[in-house]
Amino acid sequence: MAAEAYEFKSEAQQLLDLMIHSIYSNKEIFLRELVSNASDALDKLRFERLTDESLRTDAALKIRVWADAEARTLTVEDNGIGMSRDEVIQNLGTIAHSGTKQFASKLKAAQDSDNAERLIGQFGVGFYSSFMVADEVTVVTRKAGEEGATRWHSAGGGTFDIDTAEREGHGTTVTLHLRPVDEENGLVDFTAEWSLRGIIKKYNDFVTYPVELRTERTELERDDEGKPIEGAEPNTVVEWTVVNSQKAIWTRDPKDVSEEEYAEFYKHIAHDWEAPFETIALKAEGLFEYRALLFIPQRAPFDLFYRDQKYGLQLYVNKVLIEERNEDLVPDWLRFVKGVVDSPDLSLNVSREMLQQDRRVKAIRKKVVRKVLDTLETLLKDDREKYLKFWGQFGRVLKEGATDRDFQAKVEPLLFFQSSTQDELTTLGEYVERMKPGQDAIFYITGESLDAVKSSPHLEAFAAKGYEVLYLTDPIDEIMVGHVTEFGDFPLKSVGKGEVELGTDEEKKAAEEAREQKQAEHKDLLEKLGNLLADHVKEVRLSSRLTTSAVCLVGGEHDLSPGLEKMLRQANQATPDTKRILELNGDHPLMGKLKALYAADGDDPKLGDYAKLLYGQALIAEGAAPPEPAEFARLVAGLMV
């Protein structure tokens, strides 16, 4: 095939521009990215070889790095899986991640700020970082099992060329033409051996393949006795020195691993540019052995709530990577956890399906979850402020864990909520400690936003009693309270459901009696209103929860909440159309008016209008719209004139 010119996909070009003009001082990380890619390519080949004998050769898998100071080039080479022509175009012409559109728009918005750096980290754009230090990049690659090779070349200016090429054996060679040295801007001499050695050691020490650096030494020719010959031309001796220790970091004793080493490893597997928030090492011995190294990132990725978000831990069998993302090792509500699990006891040739069924995988998962939750528990105990940082990023995901029956009890104490009486976030345990004498439940209100719930009429009776109410405004909360029905000795109760009786037993009894009496007094009027609104509500009754507002809507004790109903409907699930109950405030002056109207003429058409107004008001107070907004507006205007 002939040479062809291609344009970068726009988001890739944006990224490239960002790299070319990067003011990021830590430019040396481009080498980490290239070595990291090479290591991934070797992992992939090693994995393919497990099942494809034709790919097996005697050649040792390795990475080689060399520089040419005169030509100002730096080369990173691997004999890994390589890429086909199509793969090169795809992988090095676009950003190989889902959600690129969002990325592009976010990047635009963040172009001038530090956030750009962070965003780049989140998307894992390793290869393009070469352009921070190079003005031209050439890649020659040959896919294992294929004959021809492909050459990719770009000077970063919007296009890249693709051509056929020659390459002995499979693998990839990336050659950078380095920009001039400019130490002030972080461009040190990347052809200097000591500098390359330092960078590789610093960032890629854990790479499980040898990273060999080309070194040169001059030597005088020697005579038979091994003595240097005077006056002879010195010879240049080329040597390849392995720079990295190659020790899988998770096999090392955590005592001997520095925080920086863990951080570099984390960045490698998570494609993150920031150090992890928390590192968790795990080791199981005995009948069934495994080790795990887990990380909690500092920041939630942009796609944390995407439906098709990929997650999982890397699974190794005896240091051979067999799966990049194994979803059986962590539940989806810990999908932000990154890391590796290595067990010498699992079989190398095991299929996905078999792994899923494997008892041992299940056991590891359980342990992983426990360990993460234990870590969070300790963090909360020792450093609440730091924990709340975590909560700010991943709290909404952790709440999903409260619906996991196996871990619910461990997750519950880790949850934080906003509440009606506290400025700061609170736990359920702290709520219980603040409960008023006689209070027999943990009360919450659900809604779409903090503003909507804060001013809800449902809160009135609770506020009057000084009872605290938790504000649940995340979509997941509706589902969570379906599972977390009690905490400690107390049930969780919605302020928008059933009757509310607050206070001591005597107070409750007195309130109930008073209400029953009033209810009897207004019986006919309430029934009349109920009939008029029969299409919308199942009952009209006097309220136990209103002190200032005139009306509100409440659900039956066991009804679905409107929020949950809406969610189910959005998910296209068959949902019953639950009617709610309209509650009127018996002490509101409006009651007197209504009663007088009804007493004068039980069939006065005004009663129908008033019923609609009452119902509409109740909906508006929840942030919803009356069923016929235009009519509602007309009725209100009518009242005003």
Nearest-approach distance from CB 428 to ligand ADP, in angstroms: 40
CA-CA-CA-CA torsion sign (163, 169, 170, 172): negative
CA 539 – CA 226 distance, rounded (Å): 107
Name the residue nearer to ligand ADP (CB basis): 312 or 475: 312
- 221 contact partners, CB below 8 Å, separation of at least 6: 228, 229, 232, 233, 234, 235
Is 375 a residue that touches ligand ADP (CB under 6 A)? no
Q: Report the residue from 35, 61, 107, 125 that binds ligand ADP according to the rule CB under 6 A.
A: 125
Residue nearest to ligand ADP (CB): 126
What residues form DSSP beta bridges with 74?
67, 176
CA 90 – CA 109 distance, rounded (Å): 26
- Going residue by residue from 255 to 294, which x/- string records binding to ligand ADP, judged by CB under 6 A? ----------------x-----------------------
Whether 74 contacts 67, CB under 8 Å: yes
Is 126 a residue that touches ligand ADP (CB under 6 A)? yes
Residue 323's H or E segment, with its range, is: strand 320-326
Is 81 a residue that touches ligand ADP (CB under 6 A)? yes
Closest by CA position to 215, among listed 60, 74, 38, 65: 65
Is 563 a residue that touches ligand ADP (CB under 6 A)? no
Residues 136-175 that bind ligand ADP (CB under 6 A): 172
Q: Tokens 């990839």 sit at which residue?
A: 172
Is 209 a residue that touches ligand ADP (CB under 6 A)? no
Is 301 a residue that touches ligand ADP (CB under 6 A)? no
Q: Report the residue from 15, 19, 38, 428 that binds ligand ADP according to the rule CB under 6 A.
A: 38
Name the residue nearer to ligand ADP (CB basis): 78 or 559: 78
**DSSP alpha helix (H) spans, 413-571:** 428-434, 450-454, 460-465, 475-483, 505-521, 523-532, 562-570
Name the residue nearer to ligand ADP (CB basis): 128 or 206: 128
Sheet containing 418-419, strands listed edge to edge, beginning at the edge strand earlier in sequence:
418-419, 469-472, 442-446, 490-494, 486-487
Stretch that binds ligand ADP, among 52-60, 79-87, 148-156, 512-520 (CB under 6 A): 79-87
Name the residue nearer to ligand ADP (CB basis): 264 or 400: 264
Is 80 a residue that touches ligand ADP (CB under 6 A)? yes
Is 31 a residue that touches ligand ADP (CB under 6 A)? no
Nearest-approach distance from CB 34 to ligand ADP, in angstroms: 7
Name the residue nearer to ligand ADP (CB basis): 96 or 320: 96
Is 119 a residue that touches ligand ADP (CB under 6 A)? no
Residue 204 is encoded by which pair of tokens?
């890629």
Stretch that binds ligand ADP, among 37-45, 98-106, 581-589, 610-618 (CB under 6 A): 37-45
CA 222 – CA 203 distance, rounded (Å): 39
DSSP 275: P
Positions in the binding site for ligand ADP (CB under 6 A) = 33, 37-38, 41, 78, 80-83, 91-92, 96, 124-128, 172, 271
